[in-house]
Amino acid sequence: MSSIKRITGSLDGSELRIGIVVSRWNREITDALLDGAVRALVACSADFDRVTILEVPGALEIPVATAELAENAMDAIIAIGCVIKGETAHFDHVSRLALDGIAAVSAEYRIPVACGILTVYDLDQAKERSGIDEGNAGSQAALTAVETANLLRSLSRDIL
């Protein structure tokens, strides 16, 4: 009887081409999320000559920019944005389109598009998720992107 193979990804970002798409809308928050992602990539030994950051106006533009990065052979992409609920249904539509869009890019190109897009009810929640601690959603997305990209690389080497 053979043993079950268990494969995990590493947090070594030194060989990865990583794209980041960051929205300018709610810039105070998205800049803090981007800072968190960069801190995490530094901790993963990412080569910043292999990191590309695209800045877009808002969350709705994130999917098309991630698709463009995916077309350009990125190993992983980090999507960063912040949608705060207002008094209309606009929040629901923007959030759903942005999240569905990055999921579609990930599936189509078979690369991780890690979600650092906050969908929150108020500014306090956004600030809580974009602080300098380990709860920063940008940092978490960066770690997820690196680990998943390395997992997919391991799959192609180890069993495919």
Split at pLDDT 50, 70, 90, the class of 159 is low
Q: 120-153: b or e for each residue (b if 16 or more CB lie within 10 Å)? A: beeeebbeebbeeeeebbbbbbbbbbbbbbbebe
Residues carrying an active site annotation: 90
pLDDT tens per residue across span 13-33: 999 999 999 999 999 999 999
Collect all residues with Cβ–Cβ distance below 8 Å to 145 and sequence separation of at least 6: 18, 76, 77, 78, 112, 113, 114
The secondary structure of residue 50, as a DSSP letter, is G
Split at pLDDT 50, 70, 90, the class of 1 is low
pLDDT tens per residue across span 62-106: 999 999 999 999 999 999 999 999 888 888 899 999 999 999 999
pLDDT tens per residue across span 37-61: 999 999 999 999 999 999 999 999 9
In order of their start, the domains of the chain are 35-49+57-149 (3.40.50.960)
